[in-house]
């Protein structure tokens, strides 16, 4: 159920419901992508380490 | 109610020491568990909710935090050091041990003495003398476990492991496989029979049917054609094996390794893993040809080949000497063997 | 948002997340973290009972020493599938995916997790993994043990190893995405005023567990993929006949699976912090220490894996390092236990059901954790490794600890999640039955282990029988303790008393909204001005001796 924050600037069309602002949304998405990349590093790093050992 | 035993019998020199550490830990555990349990129950009763009293909001106490961090840390260090010292003792066989060889397979134990005596799912040992069991698996990982001796070692399919003990009390004790190995894992059990030295000597006498391991090994050495290349003359295609056992060897890539059981086994099953300096990588592999029992017999034979010269193995032209500093001590060599996959990744 | 109703009987809110939308599509395509939590609740409860059935069959079989109930192969499949189910499809998701998913966004004052669609995808991935696992079970089973040691699993068994590995792989990715979601949410979506130092310890604990989830689980993924490749295509990484090293598998497997146990226990510890504070009406003793202990456990948890391998052929020197570090990882857990106990001191203690489970946790986790010290002691581990001592140890921490924490949390937040109260007297009885049944089941196993009974044995030497019978008797009681909550929770949905917003008068943002909460959690993003656990706001006392 979408919701407009009562006191904040208008609703950007791309703002999804769980975030309060586009800035928060962008920051969270960027951070999330870095965390995901970290998991991929662990995965492939593990693969390469296994091959080398 | 029938008697409820809490410990296995103490039948080795190490058993009592392991039990002592155990008892110490039981005391610590009992003390701290009771402490916490009593405190919780006491607080739950003494500070139970009543309308007259409100809770006192306490942030914490850095002093208390330090105290109950440092004290457990101290106790832990004591336990660690005690356990580590005991482990060191358990993992290093003394030099004068009686050797036995064990091959584990799904789902039985096969033992052989240097004199050729063999047993299946049974192991006879004397009291009063360290016994070193050298173990290998034909298939999956097993584990050699004798509760009464408090010893255990996994048995691997790619290299030898050793376990040692000195039995103290005649009797029969359980041998269990303690690494899950498939269908009949719980049936892979046996009996260790400890005998007084005289009885053990008599038992050894009675079982020499097939000849010593070294003698069997010599037959295999000829049967498999090893003598074709491994000869003492300088034109031989393979290194001379006389006096090889236990001595340093220089490899093609200039490393120096000790020629121990694992080295010999690897050389037979995966010859290209380590090429002796000055020789060509032409030895065929005997993987799938030589069984683990035969391998042990061949090693016994190689061990028995005496050499008086005291020179490191290198019967080719290059007279490079192996300096003392290059010779790894036994632990380092064990380390190298572990770290290297015996893989065929050589050019 | 209704005020705490002491004089007026509470009523269910008219609209909340459960009745906002009806129909199967609204559930299967939901983005609401609360509904996803409920979906997980159903899934993992199902797997808990599957795992429980296997456990019951195992204990039945072990009543006699000669293994008369099942064939050895069948028994081997049962303990394997008991382990796989309980660990990957129940314990690892339990607190994070059910309680964490539900409560954490509300606790930080957010309307949802950072990535709701990823949250839903995480549940679907879990269900795909669950499907593979179930299929593997019914079409022949797996009999390698949940540890899948090579070369047994890569070349010697003819059971559905690859299918099961795929199932676990999917469950692992589900876990990674949940962890990712939690981390981003905690970093980026805290309400104004909610600094790190004001976060409830449930959030700290789940955050620490999430760190492990994202860093450790990928290594499990690779390990399982390599195992499947070895088994299917003989790539020669673990098979010694192809030049591989079977012990490499153990290193890789335990590199994940040891931290995994901290993934399992840390969220449970978070729950305990919430319960002990609420039912002592007191702020937690030593907040910073408890918070940082969670992080310390996560960090140290990554460097102790080879304590599962002391007799597997690692060098004596490596073994010493791992033993030392294993003692280091025990200390933060001990600190937490002391802090929880100190929280009760001069509190106002009420022994409601969640508190009974929390206190049970503290006692049993202490015993379980201390028996870990036995296993970390090198010279002693040689004797007790791969015996029932290990089984007793991990069941004390996982069942006596983790499952009790999960049940405690479920009881604590049930009113928030459903708007209904469970019947307190029956719940207390169930907690007691569980405690008694648990100890009777697993304490004898310590003794069995020291006596030398190896684990994974379908048949055993007759002198072990008395203790086995005791253990099986305990298991029957424990089963009752677990079945009762399933029954009365279901009952409470229809017949339970209405709970109201805050039946336990707890602090925490989740109690400031209705029970059940509205779909969007908060009408207005709250602003946080107080420390967590601000019970007794009128009498702030700081004691610094």
Q: pLDDT tens for chain B, 347 residues: list them.
A: 345 678 899 999 999 999 999 999 999 999 999 999 999 999 999 999 998 888 889 889 999 999 999 999 999 999 999 999 999 999 999 988 999 999 999 999 999 999 999 999 999 999 999 999 999 999 999 999 999 999 999 999 999 999 999 999 999 999 999 999 999 999 999 999 999 999 999 999 887 677 899 999 999 999 999 999 998 877 888 888 888 888 888 888 888 899 999 999 999 999 999 999 888 899 999 998 999 999 999 999 999 886 545 554 444 433 456 666 777 765 454 444 444 434 333 33
Q: What are the boundaries of each domain within chain B?
A: 1-47+63-92, 98-206, 213-337
Task: Tell me the CB-side half-sphere exposure of residue B146, using CA atoms within 13 A.
Answer: 29
Q: Cβ of C229 under 8 Å from any chain A Cβ?
A: no
Rounded distance between C-alpha atoms, residue B209 and residue B8, angstroms:
35
Quote ipTM for the complex.
0.92
Rounded distance between C-alpha atoms, residue C280 and residue C343, angstroms:
7
B276: β partners: B251
B165: β partners: B131
> Under the phi-then-psi rule, with left for phi > 0, alpha for psi from -120 to 50, and beta for the rest, what region is C149?
beta
Q: Cβ of C214 under 8 Å from any chain A Cβ?
A: yes
Q: Cβ of C57 under 8 Å from any chain A Cβ?
A: no
- Which chains touch B (3+ CB pairs under 8 A)? C
Task: State the virtual CA torsion across C205, C206, C209, C214 in degrees, nearest 10.
Answer: -150
In C103-132, the residues whose Cβ lies within 8 Å of chain B are none
Q: What is the mean pLDDT of residues C91-95?
A: 95
Rounded distance between C-alpha atoms, residue C259 and residue C261, angstroms:
5
Q: Cβ of C26 under 8 Å from any chain A Cβ?
A: no
Nearest CA in chain A to C116: A18
Contact between residue B250 and residue B312 where contact means Cβ atoms under 8 Å apart: yes
- Which chains touch A (3+ CB pairs under 8 A)? C
Rounded distance between C-alpha atoms, residue C169 and residue C328, angstroms:
30
In A9-48, the residues whose Cβ lies within 8 Å of chain C are 17-20, 24, 27-28, 31-32, 35-36, 38-40, 42-44, 46-47
Q: What is the mean pLDDT of residues C372-398?
A: 97
Residue B288 CB partners (closer than 8 Å, separation 6+): C241
Pick B183's closest partner by Cβ from C76, C331, C451: C76
Residue C115 CB partners (closer than 8 Å, separation 6+): A28, A32, C180, C181, C184
Q: Which CATH superfamily is domain C32-521 in?
A: Cytochrome c oxidase-like, subunit I domain (1.20.210.10)
Is the bond preceding residue C46 a cis peptide, omega within 30 degrees?
no
Q: How far apart are the first and last CA of chain A?
A: 52
> Measured between beta carbons, which residues in chain B are less than 8 angstroms from residue C67?
186
pTM, entire model: 0.91
Rounded distance between C-alpha atoms, residue C296 and residue C284, angstroms:
18
Rounded distance between C-alpha atoms, residue C278 and residue C6, angstroms:
18
Task: Tell me the CB-side half-sphere exposure of residue C129, using CA atoms within 13 A.
Answer: 27
Cα–Cα–Cα angle for C42, C360, B38, nearest 5°?
A: 175
Q: How far is CA C219 from CA A41, A49, C403, in A?
A: 10, 10, 26
Check A6 against C524: CB less than 8 A apart.
yes
- Note the pLDDT of residue B206: 86
Q: How far apart are the first and last CA of chain C?
A: 42
CA quadruple C409, C412, C417, C423: dihedral sign: positive
Residue B210 CB partners (closer than 8 Å, separation 6+): B116, B118, B216
Q: Which two tokens stand for residue C315?
A: 């060098």
Q: Which CATH superfamily is domain B213-337 in?
A: Cytochrome c-like domain (1.10.760.10)
Question: 3-state class of B165 per DSSP?
Answer: strand
- Note the pLDDT of residue B231: 85
Question: 3-state class of B246 per DSSP?
Answer: coil
> Measured between beta carbons, which residues in chain B are less than 8 angstroms from residue C289?
60, 65
In C232-251, the residues whose Cβ lies within 8 Å of chain B are 236, 240-241, 243-248
A2 compared with B203, residue with greater pLDDT: B203
pLDDT of C373 higher than 70 = yes
Query: What is the distance in angstroms between the Cα of C77 and the nearest Cα belonging to chain B?
Result: 10
Cα–Cα–Cα angle for C480, C483, C486, nearest 5°?
A: 155
Q: What are the boundaries of each domain within chain A?
A: 21-53
Rounded distance between C-alpha atoms, residue B82 and residue B49, angstroms:
46
Q: What DSSP designation does C23 have?
A: S
Cα–Cα–Cα angle for C35, C37, C38, nearest 5°?
A: 65
Residue from B154, B163, B164, B192 to probe the interface with C (highest C Cβ count within 10 Å): B154
pLDDT of C207 higher than 60 = yes
Check C330 against B25: CB less than 8 A apart.
no
Question: 3-state class of B141 per DSSP?
Answer: coil
Q: How many other C-beta atoms lie within 10 A of the C-beta of residue B323?
A: 9
Q: Cβ of A3 under 8 Å from any chain C Cβ?
A: yes
> Measured between beta carbons, which residues in chain C are less than 8 angstroms from residue B335?
315
- Note the pLDDT of residue A3: 44
pLDDT of C327 higher than 80 = yes
Residue B21 CB partners (closer than 8 Å, separation 6+): B79, B82, B83, B86, C377, C379, C380
Q: By 3-state DSSP, what share of chain A in percent is helix, strand and coil, each rounded to 5?
A: 60, 0, 40
Pick A43's closest partner by Cβ from C116, C222, C237: C222
Query: What is the distance in angstroms between the Cα of B214 and the nearest Cα belonging to chain C?
Result: 26
CA quadruple C231, C236, C242, C243: dihedral sign: negative
Question: 3-state class of B124 per DSSP?
Answer: strand
Is the bond preceding residue B255 a cis peptide, omega within 30 degrees?
no
pLDDT in tens, C334-362: 999 999 999 999 999 999 999 999 999 99
Check C145 against B39: CB less than 8 A apart.
no
- Note the pLDDT of residue C526: 87
Fold classified for B98-206: Immunoglobulin-like (2.60.40)
């Amino acid at each position: 159920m979408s919701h407009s924050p009562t006191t904040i600037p208008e609703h950007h069309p791309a703002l999804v419901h769980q975030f309060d602002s586009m800035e928060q949304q962008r920051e969270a998405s960027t951070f999330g992508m870095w965390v995901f990349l970290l998991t991929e590093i662990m995965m492939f790093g593990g693969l390469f380490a296994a091959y080398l050992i | 109610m029938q008697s409820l035993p809490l410990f296995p019998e103490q039948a080795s020199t190490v058993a009592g020491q392991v039990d002592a550490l155990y008892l110490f830990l039981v005391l610590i555990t009992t003390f701290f568990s009771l402490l916490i349990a009593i405190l919780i129950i006491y607080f739950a009763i003494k500070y139970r909710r009543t309308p007259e009293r409100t809770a006192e909001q306490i942030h914490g106490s850095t002093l208390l935090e330090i105290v109950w961090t440092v004290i457990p840390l101290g106790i832990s260090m004591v336990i660690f050091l005690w356990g580590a010292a005991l482990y060191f003792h358990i993992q290093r066989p003394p030099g004068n041990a009686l050797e036995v060889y064990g091959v584990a397979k799904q789902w039985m134990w096969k033992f052989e003495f240097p004199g050729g005596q063999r047993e299946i799912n049974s192991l006879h040992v004397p009291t009063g003398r360290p016994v070193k069991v050298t173990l290998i698996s034909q298939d999956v990982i097993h584990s050699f476990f004798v509760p009464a001796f408090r010893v255990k070692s996994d048995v691997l399919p790619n290299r030898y492991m050793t376990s040692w003990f000195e039995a103290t009390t005649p009797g029969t004790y359980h041998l269990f496989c303690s690494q899950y190995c498939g269908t009949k894992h719980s049936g892979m059990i046996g009996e260790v029979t400890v005998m007084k030295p005289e009885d053990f000597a008599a038992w050894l006498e009675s079982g020499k049917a097939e000849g010593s391991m070294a003698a069997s090994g010599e037959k295999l050495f000829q049967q498999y054609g090893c003598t074709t290349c491994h000869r003492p003359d300088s034109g031989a295609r393979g290194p001379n094996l006389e006096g090889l056992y236990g001595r340093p060897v220089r490899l093609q890539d200039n490393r120096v390794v000790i020629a121990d059981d694992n080295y010999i086994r690897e050389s037979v099953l995966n010859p290209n893993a380590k090429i002796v300096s000055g020789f060509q990588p032409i030895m065929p592999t005997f993987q799938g040809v030589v069984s683990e029992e035969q391998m042990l017999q061949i090693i016994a034979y190689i061990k028995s080949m005496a050499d008086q010269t005291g020179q490191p193995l290198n019967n080719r032209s290059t007279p490079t000497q192996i300096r003392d500093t290059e010779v790894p001590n036994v632990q380092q060599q064990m380390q190298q063997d572990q770290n290297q996959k015996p893989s065929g990744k050589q050019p | 948002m209704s005020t705490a109703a002491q004089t007026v009987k509470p009523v269910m809110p008219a609209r909340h997340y459960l009745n906002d939308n009806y129909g199967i599509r609204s559930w299967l395509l939901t983005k609401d973290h609360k509904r996803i939590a409920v979906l997980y609740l159903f899934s993992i409860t199902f797997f808990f009972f599957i795992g429980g059935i296997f456990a019951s069959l195992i204990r039945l079989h072990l009543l006699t020493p000669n293994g008369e109930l099942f064939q050895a192969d069948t028994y081997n499949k049962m303990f394997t599938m008991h382990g796989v189910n309980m660990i990957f499809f129940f314990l690892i998701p339990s607190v994070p995916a059910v309680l964490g998913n539900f409560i954490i966004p509300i606790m930080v004052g957010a309307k949802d997790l950072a990535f709701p669609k990823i949250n839903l995808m995480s549940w679907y991935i879990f269900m795909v993994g669950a499907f593979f696992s179930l299929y593997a079970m019914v079409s022949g089973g797996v009999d390698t043990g949940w540890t899948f040691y090579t070369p047994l699993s890569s070349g010697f068994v003819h059971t559905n190893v690859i299918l099961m590995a795929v199932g676990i792989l999917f469950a692992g990715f589900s876990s990674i995405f949940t962890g990712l979601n939690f981390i981003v949410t905690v970093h980026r979506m805290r309400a104004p005023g909610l600094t790190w130092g004001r976060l409830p310890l449930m959030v700290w604990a789940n955050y620490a567990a999430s760190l492990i989830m994202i860093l450790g689980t990928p290594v499990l993924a690779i390990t399982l993929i390599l195992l499947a490749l070895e088994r299917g295509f003989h790539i020669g990484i673990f098979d010694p006949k192809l030049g591989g090293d079977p012990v490499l598998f153990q290193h890789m497997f335990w590199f994940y699976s040891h931290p995994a146990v901290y993934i399992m226990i840390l969220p449970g510890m978070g729950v305990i912090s919430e319960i002990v504070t609420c039912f002592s009406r007191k702020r937690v003793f030593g907040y910073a220490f408890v918070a940082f202990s969670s992080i310390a456990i996560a960090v140290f948890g990554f460097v102790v894996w080879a304590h599962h391998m002391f007799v597997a052929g690692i060098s004596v020197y490596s073994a010493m390092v791992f033993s030392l570090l294993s003692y280091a990882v025990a200390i933060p857990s001990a600190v937490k236990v002391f802090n929880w106990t100190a929280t009760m001191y001069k509190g106002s203690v009420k022994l409601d059901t969640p508190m009974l489970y929390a206190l049970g946790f503290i006692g049993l986790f202490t015993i379980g954790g201390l028996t870990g010290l036995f296993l970390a002691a090198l010279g002693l581990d040689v004797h007790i490794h791969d015996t029932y001592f290990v089984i007793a140890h991990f069941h004390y921490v996982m069942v006596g600890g983790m499952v009790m924490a999960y049940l405690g949390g479920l009881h604590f937040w049930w009113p928030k999640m459903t708007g209904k109260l469970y019947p307190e007297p029956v719940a207390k009885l169930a907690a007691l039955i569980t405690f008694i049944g648990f100890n009777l089941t697993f304490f004898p196993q310590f003794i069995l282990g020291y006596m030398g009974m190896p684990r994974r044995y379908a048949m055993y030497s007759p002198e072990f029988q008395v203790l086995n019978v005791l253990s099986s008797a305990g298991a029957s009681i424990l089963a009752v303790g677990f079945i009762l909550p399933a029954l009365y929770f279901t009952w409470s949905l229809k017949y339970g008393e209405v709970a109201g917003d805050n039946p336990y008068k707890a602090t925490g943002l989740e109690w400031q909204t209705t029970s059940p909460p509205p779909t969007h959690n908060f009408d207005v993003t709250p602003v946080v001005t107080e420390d967590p656990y601000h019970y007794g706001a009128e009498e702030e006392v700081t004691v610094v001796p």
